[in-house]
Amino acid sequence: MPIRTSLMLISLLLLSGCASWFGTPYQDPEVHLVKVETVKARLLQQEFVLHFRIDNPNDSRLLVRALRYKVRLNELTLAEGESDQWVNVAAHSHKTFKVPIRTNLWEHLKDVVKLLKHPERPIHYRLDGDLSSGFFWPRSLHLSRSGEIIPGDFIPE
């Protein structure tokens, strides 16, 4: 009888451990572009730093392994690339990380001049990307953000 009771107790313990797998459902983290910092703006090459904030709504930490991104103004692609910077975000927390980017607006100079001709008019921007997270059970999250900026707000008088 003690063996049977022991086996039943072990089975119940194992099942209760599996029940934790089906606890709170996984929620996708939220990714926000919070700032675009100009580092250098030369004629042939421009350097920026994109500041991202990742909000983790889950009960466990989030490991971010990579971020693929594309930034557009109207339909003009300003920058695209991949950051392989690893970031750990604690449970129910957020973390900010920076992605340096380089772009060459020389080839798009004519289009950029048209956009800036009327600095009071808003310009549509769009950020698309894929966030790779996890290690043993990888996940991929597609992100898409868009809005408008007014160039005149960024041009010094």
Whole-number Å distance between alpha carbons of 99 and 82:
9
Which candidate, 143, 96, 148, places its Cα nearest to that of 125? Answer: 148
How does DSSP assign 15-80, residue by residue? HHHHHGGGSSPP-PPEEEEEEEEEEEE-SS-EEEEEEEEEEE-SSS-EEEEEEEEEEEETTEEEEE
Most confident of 33-47, 65-79, 103-117, 141-155: 65-79
pLDDT at 55: 94
Q: Which CATH number fits domain 26-153: 3.40.50.720, 2.60.120.20, 2.60.40.10, 3.30.930.10?
A: 2.60.40.10
- Per residue in 38-96, pLDDT tens? 888 787 788 888 888 999 999 989 899 998 989 888 888 888 889 888 999 999 999 99
Domain ranges of the chain: 26-153
Percent helix, percent strand, percent coil in the chain, to nearest 5: 20, 50, 25
The pLDDT confidence band at residue 140, using thresholds 50, 70 and 90, is: confident
- Per residue in 13-47, pLDDT tens? 666 555 455 557 888 888 888 887 888 878 778 88
